[in-house]
Structure 1
Amino acid sequence: MNKSTFFTGQPIFAQLLRFIPRDMIRRISAEHNADRYCKRFNTYEHLVTMLYAVFNHCNSLREVTTGMLAAEQRVNHLGVRYHPRRSTISDANQRRQADVFGSIYYKLYQRYSGFLSDSRKKSIASRLYIFDSTTISLFQEILRTSGQNPVGKRKGGIKVHTLIRSDLDIPCMICYSAAAANDSSFLKEVHLPKGSILVFDRGYADYIKLNSFSASGVTWITRRRSRSAYDVLEELDNPHKEKGVIADKRIRLGHRGCNRVLGRMVQFKSPDSGEIYEFLTNNMKMSAMTIAELYRKRWQIELLFKRIKQNYPLKYFLGDSENAIKLQIWSALIADLILKILKKGIAAKWSFANLAAMIRLHLMTYIDIRGFLRSPEKALQSKFSNIRSPNSKQLLLIT
């Protein structure tokens, strides 16, 4: 085999790692003292190993170590000085704080958010934020889960509270809690600039924070809980009755003597299912149809949760501690951000699932990633055409 042809350039994994500046990793590691007392397997090598596990869908430490050992000659291109052992990865997942990987994600978000958004279009999507949570089940009871005690051994769960900006489709804020934690307590962690629009589900009922949003010029849109009390102050004009808007009212939320919120309620009947929705907001200027349409966009964050759970290994974790679980989730979010950058930068149209699958299959292939994604078959045929000599004699089974 002609090695000069086969091993030209760098593997696809090394090209993906170019999106992560090493000097940024060193600065973050120094800020957190993440490499203190580490003779080997520093923060960068730990990140590369975890990204390898995420991209390759590794469900155990043995899969990670054997996979990297099989590609040991190519590990030098990744900046990893030696082949990590299972105990080394396990100790690092236990000892190195997950906040280090969280800081890496936020720095990458700040670095590439301008590239991922279309700055030429000042649309409402650049001001629209969506907040929700998703629960990831755990094999052991590491974090207390919600619901009644099931038959047999009780499993744990971690809840990931996520804020995204609609035009970026990647998280801009992440908070973790046990699955049994109340969602409403995490709304206070959201801080947005004036003029922003925040959409969230009815599980986040924090009236103090809602009043704070109104005072700071942030529009919020949610749904009314069935148990939420309110007083009708005024019936507003309803020019969209034929489009499904049943009523538009100015109300005051809350029980008397408690924290109360001045707002607006739009009752909307879905033309498809016939179900009646009650939307709450503090914006008195938007039309009722606009409010209903903005809340419908909340489904975008559900698609984000589905994308992350389907394309990254978050069913089995490479550690049984809370820190190891959070660290692996941060690694999946970093991998997702890298693939979003790659998808935005190529001319060819790929679905995210197909792109993630192609990267997984060819993670260690030596080929230019942009040319490969433009035309995979053509790029691979051109890459390996010089490996076989046209004048070489083939071995025959029958002579």
Structure 2
Amino acid sequence: MFSGEYIFSQVMDHLPMHTFRKCVERYSGNRYVKSFNCFDQFLCMAFGQLTHRESLRDIEICLRAHNPKLYHIGIRGGISRNTFSNANKTRDWRIYADFANALIKIARPLYSREDLGLEMKNTVYALDASTIDLCMSVFPWALFRSTKSAVKLHTLLDLRGNIPIFMHISDGKMHDVNALDLLIPETGAFYIMDRGYLDFTRLYRWHTAGAYFVIRAKSNTKFKRRYSRPVEMNKGVICDHTVVLTGLNSSAAYPKTLRRIHYYDSETEKHFN
């Protein structure tokens, strides 16, 4: 008979429980709770995430199948889909948001020296958004189109360790570029974005804050070349120019120079500007 500690329990032992209890107390998460407290809820959600469960019912069935082991992995409350659902609905989400931020602060220094394969010591972030389709009858508040609902998850990822630094859930209609207004740019950091975030007014604000951005230009972007740099065309770099914007609105929004690089990927036979 197995008498050691379960792997899930070993992973959860690394959690800073003092910090978790402070988060729960801050928002009175366990007030009037007789069973299935906030930590039970957290363990169930963590179990569902680590084991790729697809729904509350899936989590409930899987945990109930191992009912004799629940006490040994830290779950003291009974597992019921109704109780689980009510906990997710009524408890303050800020408990887990604050705890997630605390875990991120612990994790980031562990990957601060991870090699990205680039000759730079600056922090490099990737910013993107994902649309998550929802059932309209269940989520009418998240109306996206006439026939379906959706939410959008805006995520800023630290590429050293692939750690999410910022996450914001909005309705599906929120445009990607509006997420730039929610972020405070870090001086000296590089932000990699797709062309959905191309807004020269916002990007100039990031430039004045001392941040760098890498973004693809739209096909109708108007600019004029100031000077060129030598390139190694055998490595796919077609040109490396310093340019200024010449469009009526874009030149007023971003009066400084920009660096434009044209790259050709021989494997996919695609051009990137």
Give TM class, smaller chain: 0.7 to 0.9
1:237 pairs with 2:237: no
Deviations 1:97-140 (A, max 9, x none): 33322222111111122223337999526521111111222233
Q: Which amino acid aligns with 1:90?
A: S
Q: Which amino acid aligns with 1:52?
A: F
Q: What is the aligned partner in structure 1 of residue 181 from structure 2?
A: 188
1:55 and 1:16, CA in 2 relative to 1: closer, same or farther beyond 3 A?
Answer: same
Whose Rg is larger? 1
Q: What is the aligned partner in structure 1 of residue 169 from structure 2?
A: 176
Q: What is the aligned partner in structure 2 of residue 209 from structure 1?
A: 202
Q: What is the aligned partner in structure 1 of residue 143 from structure 2?
A: 144
SS of the aligned residue for 2:257 comes to strand
Q: CA RMSD in A?
A: 2.6
Q: Which amino acid aligns with 1:59?
A: E
Q: What is the aligned partner in structure 2 of residue 83 from structure 1?
A: 78
Once residues 90 and 99 of structure 1 are traced to their aligned partners in structure 2, the CA distance between those partners, rounded to angstroms, is 17
Shift of 1:277: 2.6
User: Which ranges in structure 1 are unaligned for 5 or more consecutive residues?
Assistant: 1-5, 279-399
SS of the aligned residue for 1:137 comes to strand
Q: 1:60-79 maps to which residues of 2 (within 5 A)?
A: 60-79=55-74
1:20 pairs with 2:11: no
Shift of 1:211: 1.6
Identity of aligned residues (%): 21
Once residues 253 and 47 of structure 2 are traced to their aligned partners in structure 1, the CA distance between those partners, rounded to angstroms, is 50
Once residues 217 and 63 of structure 1 are traced to their aligned partners in structure 2, the CA distance between those partners, rounded to angstroms, is 47
Q: What is the aligned partner in structure 2 of residue 263 from structure 1?
A: 257
1:159 equivalent among 143, 149, 152: 152
Q: What is the aligned partner in structure 2 of residue 96 from structure 1?
A: 91
Q: Which amino acid aligns with 1:124?
A: M
Q: Which amino acid aligns with 2:156?
A: L
Q: What is the aligned partner in structure 2 of residue 9 from structure 1?
A: 4
Q: Which amino acid aligns with 2:231?
A: H
1:131 pairs with 2:123: no
Higher relative contact order (CA 8 A, sep 6+): 1
Shift of 1:65: 2.6
Q: What is the aligned partner in structure 2 of residue 311 from structure 1?
A: none
Shift of 1:174: 0.6
Deviations 1:42-86 (A, max 9, x none): 211110111222233333433323332332222112322232211
Contact 2:35 2:78 in 1 (8 A): no
Q: What is the aligned partner in structure 2 of residue 356 from structure 1?
A: none
Q: 1:21-60 maps to which residues of 2 (within 5 A)?
A: 21-60=16-55
Contact 1:163 1:173 in 2 (8 A): yes
Once residues 243 and 153 of structure 2 are traced to their aligned partners in structure 1, the CA distance between those partners, rounded to angstroms, is 34
SS of the aligned residue for 2:29 comes to coil
Once residues 186 and 117 of structure 1 are traced to their aligned partners in structure 2, the CA distance between those partners, rounded to angstroms, is 25
Q: Which amino acid aligns with 1:266?
A: R
Q: What is the aligned partner in structure 2 of residue 304 from structure 1?
A: none
Shift of 1:259: 4.6
2:190 equivalent among 189, 197, 206: 197
Q: Which amino acid aligns with 2:177?
A: S
Once residues 170 and 206 of structure 1 are traced to their aligned partners in structure 2, the CA distance between those partners, rounded to angstroms, is 26
Once residues 111 and 224 of structure 1 are traced to their aligned partners in structure 2, the CA distance between those partners, rounded to angstroms, is 36
Once residues 42 and 270 of structure 1 are traced to their aligned partners in structure 2, the CA distance between those partners, rounded to angstroms, is 55
User: Which ranges in structure 2 are unaligned for 5 or more consecutive residues?
Assistant: none
Deviations 1:205-239 (A, max 9, x none): 333321221112111121112344x342x431231
SS of the aligned residue for 1:188 comes to helix
Deviations 1:315-339 (A, max 9, x none): xxxxxxxxxxxxxxxxxxxxxxxxx
Contact 1:157 1:178 in 2 (8 A): yes
Q: TM-score, normalised by structure 1?
A: 0.60
1:252 equivalent among 234, 245, 250: 245
Contact 1:46 1:89 in 2 (8 A): yes
1:213 and 1:87, CA in 2 relative to 1: closer, same or farther beyond 3 A?
Answer: same
Contact 2:133 2:149 in 1 (8 A): yes
SS of the aligned residue for 1:124 comes to coil
1:179 and 1:196, CA in 2 relative to 1: closer, same or farther beyond 3 A?
Answer: same
